[in-house]
Chain A
Amino acid sequence: GDSVTQTEGPVTLSEGTSLTVNCSYETKQYPTLFWYVQYPGEGPQLLFKVPKANEKGSNRGFEATYNKEATSFHLQKASVQESDSAVYYCALSDTGYQNFYFGKGTSLTVIP
């Protein structure tokens, strides 16, 4: 079945350093890939989505490239801020279906 595996946390970084959260997926379909972010006390919210292979998504300085050959969708940011402290979820959904598969989440804490 479909699955998503991502970097296990927690991850602690200093402000201004770079971030990479690895995400790998398994599916036999043609998925759309997502990154969600969850701030403390809130529900997850969409960071961005990428529906097509070899395309890049980005938002708020975060970016990820849909790599179909490597079945990966790694989240990157060049310089993190304290406000980026949150839990990040990688997810996939197969085209034509509305079932979502989430990774276990990666907790990020950024120290000023």
Chain B
Amino acid sequence: EAAVTQSPRSKVAVTGGKVTLSCHQTNNHDYMYWYRQDTGHGLRLIHYSYVADSTEKGDIPDGYKASRPSQENFSLILELASLSQTAVYFCASSDWGLGVYEQYFGPGTRLTVL
């Protein structure tokens, strides 16, 4: 079965500090995504990638960087964490081809910035 794992599952960070969220998938999928979830906003796309060593900006990329060193791994980096980045972050992966493929989500990382 498709599997997306995230680490850490929860994290407390200080304002101005650097935070790295990691995602690993064993689905052999080309596409990977980072979303943040906030009450009242649902899921918002931060960055995505369709091939290793390349990332693309999503709808809300400001304050975030992404890294895709391999097909299996996709990281989200907050260089200078801010209070407004407190949220739950989800990683997802999907296949690609002639059709439209669903996204498989990880369990999420709850980030609290103090």
Residues of A within 8 A of B (CB): 31-32, 34, 41-46, 49, 51, 89, 93-95, 98-100, 102-105
Q: Which residues of B contact A102 (CB under 8 A)?
A: 42-43
Residue B106 lies at the interface, judged by CB distance under 8 Å to chain A: yes
Interface size for B (C-beta < 8 A) is: 24
Q: Which residues of B contact A98 (CB under 8 A)?
A: 31, 48, 50, 94, 96, 100-101
Interface SS majority for chain B: strand
Max chain B Cβ within 10 angstroms of own Cβ: one of A41, A42, A93, A98 = A98
Q: Shortest CB–CB separation between residue B39 and chain A, in angstroms?
A: 9
Q: Which residues of A contact B107 (CB under 8 A)?
A: 41-43
Residues of B within 8 A of A (CB): 4, 31, 33, 40-43, 45, 48, 50, 90, 92, 94, 96, 99-108
